[in-house]
Chain A
Amino acid sequence: MLKVNNLVKIYPSGEGKLHALDGVSFEITDGELVAVTGRSGSGKSTLLNIMGLLDKPTEGEYYINDKKASGLPSWEQAKVRNAEIGFVVQDFALVEKYTVKQNVNIPLIYSKKQLDKEKAIREVLRRVGLSDKINTPVYKLSGGQKQRTAIARAVVNDPSVILADEPTGALDSVNANGIMTLFESLSRAGKTVVIVTHDMNIAARCSRRIELSDGKII
């Protein structure tokens, strides 16, 4: 379960302040598949980064599975990030010179979970349809293939929460469909999935929608 309470994120901007998030509160129960929508600049990535423990809110609290995650020391947040959260960054954040396999392996380097790592990597690449690219360096991939690599990396360590910032932005509708099918099956398996998206078709397939405008939920 995820819970955010009165999240505020203020950026200094010129003379004044920019309220990228302005008092956002909501709860997401396990297994929900949630779409976060809103115009460009409405604060979607800011919200997701805070939920992914990659950024700190100016104010407000954030709970993962009833445990307060905001305000934890950064090394504990890293642990939570590794074990509980799979994050798909808007611009992929892959290491270009690594192979697909090396990129997908990154969370497993730091993981304390007892997993068959080889098998986990192969399985997740099969699900995103990249089995044939396993040893290809990432710089040789197309945008959509990179996006799928990023998604594979987000789910390989079996996190309970998957946060994806525009996971289908670079994909054609066939591939986008495939990824949505993957997210749906993860959500059916009890994982919490939060997707930032502009795509109304994608949003329609989610069980719930959170719409942001100027840092507020509408």
Chain B
Amino acid sequence: MTEFIRLAFCEIKTQIKRYIILVFEMMAAFLVIGFLCSMLSGINMTNQTVNGAGIPADYYRAKSTAVYTDGGRAINGDERQALLIEFIADNFHTEGVTGYTTPLDHPILMATDGYFDIYGLRLEKGRAFNKDEYDSDNADMPIIMGYGFINDYDIGDTYMDKFTIVGFLSDEQYIPELSGRISKGFSVNYNIYTPIKSREWLKENGVSYPTDLIYSENKSELDAINQKAEELGLYAYNFLSADEAEQILINTTSTLNIPLVLITLLITAMSLLCLVQSMLEFVRKNIVELLIHMICGAKLSNIILRVGAGTVLTAFISAAAASLAFRSASTAAVLFITAAAVTVIAVLPIAISLKLKPPIVAVKEEK
């Protein structure tokens, strides 16, 4: 083992320039591969979200007939939208979140009573909100944080002088969002939730009521909303059931991404080829000079070790660097597996062919 480290170090020291260039070449290829991975995992994530969203059948999402809006929530500053939201909140049962952003640098989402159940959000630790914490107007505000905060805060901590942390959500949970062409699942890892306040409190503080999901036993009851919209001079809305919303999610993600995925696949294949190519060239160049070492008594295993150790190190350093850019364990795993595969492809055939020849033949042939 010490021999291995000594030789690897010796190898890299004498070839530092070549190694640095190779690291950059490999990083470029790994970035492309990583991009493909994150794209594929994006689709996968959406599918998971769609499958796992579990939105009850008798909830509807509002969708503008003209353009997608933000799920039917108020568009900032539009007085008429605010009135329509009032109307919906007065006449229907709704679920969802609304952003409470005013004095804070990180927005806090006010969630309705049924929100966590509807989207099936699980807690990693701590407690869920109590019934009596919803729709209150008292001053204390409990919060549940996304998994992304779990290392920085603890239960019982005070956040922004005002909020008390009571729980943390588990990792890898997503909320489906309908935002036109970029409809997909959004991670809740960096969300912070607090129970929705009373209507009066919201009005006083200028926070609109959440209307992401509108409950109705009979879709025709929702026509009242469109009548109101028409009175106010707003666009008419479509109301999508959970099924229809899922369909939109599936359609938008799949139709949008397939050509892109294909192109990326192609580029990935090409950069993989380049990667293998430059690895092979690199190994061959080094082998030629290391074969001369064999004349002076280096064992074949010394040489394979030297080249192998250098190559493995380069591959793994570049895979690690590229992984940092993606911050995803599965992408990192793919990159490291690729790195290992490329190294084996580059080193193994040469090692075997050298094993079969007497040194002088190898030296003469490679020269």
Q: What residues make up the interface of A, taking CB atoms closer than 8 Å to B?
A: 49, 52, 54-56, 74-75, 78-83, 85, 87, 89, 93-95, 97-98, 102, 106-107, 109-111, 153, 157
The answer to whether B296 and A54 have CB atoms under 8 Å apart is no
Given A93-B363, A95-B289, decide whether A54 and B295 contact each other with a Cβ distance below 8 A. yes
Residue of A nearest to B302 (CB): A110
Q: Which of B14, B299, B302, B360 has a CB less than 8 Å from the CB of A54? A: B360
Q: Report whether B358 and A54 are in contact in the complex, using a CB–CB cutoff of 8 Å.
A: yes
Report the separation of the CA atoms of residues A56 and B294 in the bound assembly, to the nearest whole angstrom.
15
- Measured in the bound complex, the distance between the Cα atoms of B257 and A81 in whole Å is 61
CA–CA, A87 and B295, complex, Å: 7
Interface on B for A, CB 8 Å cutoff? 10, 14, 289, 292-302, 355, 358-361, 363
List 13 extra interface pairs beyond A54-B358, A54-B359, A75-B301, CB under 8 A: A54-B360, A55-B358, A55-B360, A74-B299, A74-B300, A80-B297, A82-B297, A83-B297, A94-B292, A109-B10, A109-B293, A110-B302, A157-B297
Given contacts A93-B292, A95-B289, contact A56 B297 (CB under 8 A): no
Q: How distant is the Cα of A55 from the Cα of B179 in the complex, in angstroms? A: 72
| A-chain residues with CB within 8 Å of residue B360 when the two chains form the complex | 49, 54-55
Q: Please, which residues of chain A bring their CB within 8 A of the CB of B294? A: 54, 78
Q: Return A34 CB to nearest CB of chain B, in Å.
A: 20
**B297–A75 touching, CB < 8 Å:** no
From DSSP, what is the main secondary structure of chain B's interface residues? helix
**Which chain B residue shows the least CB distance to A97?**
B289
B292 engages A106 (CB within 8 Å): yes
A79 to B299, CA, bound (A): 7
Query: Is A153 within 8 A of B296, CB to CB?
Result: yes
Q: Is the CB of A78 within 8 A of B297?
A: yes
* Chain B, Cβ-Cβ closest to A78: B299
Bound-state CA distance A69–B297 (Å) is: 14
In the assembled complex, the Cα of A54 lies from the Cα of B357 at a distance in Å of: 10
Q: A52 vs B292: C-alpha distance in the bound complex, in angstroms?
A: 14
Tell me if B293 and A106 are in contact (CB < 8 A): yes
- Given A74-B299, A78-B298, A79-B299, A110 contacting B363 (CB threshold 8 A): no
B300 contact set on A, CB distance < 8 A = 74-75, 78
| A189–chain B nearest beta-carbon distance, Å | 21
Chain A residues with CB under 8 Å of B296's CB are: 81-82, 87, 106-107, 110, 153, 157
Central interface residue in B14, B299, B301, B361, by most chain A CB within 10 Å: B299
**A108, closest chain B residue (CB):** B296
- Which residues of chain B are near A102, meaning CB under 8 Å? 14
Residues in chain B near residue A97, CB distance under 8 A: 289
Residues of A within 8 A of B355 (CB): 74
In the assembled complex, the CB of B353 is this many whole angstroms from the nearest CB of chain A, namely 14
Q: Which residues of B contact A74 (CB under 8 A)?
A: 299-300, 355
Bound-state CA distance A93–B360 (Å) is 10
Minimum Cβ distance to chain B for residue A58 (Å): 12
* CA of A89 to CA of B362, assembled, Å: 14
- Which among A52, A75, A85, A153 is the interface contact of B299 at CB below 8 angstroms? A75
Given the complex of chains A and B, what is the CA–CA distance between A47 and B298 in angstroms?
Answer: 21
The 7 A-B pairs with the shortest beta carbon distances in the complex, nearest first, are A82-B297, A54-B360, A107-B296, A78-B299, A81-B297, A106-B296, A55-B358
List the A side residues contacting B10 at CB < 8 Å.
109
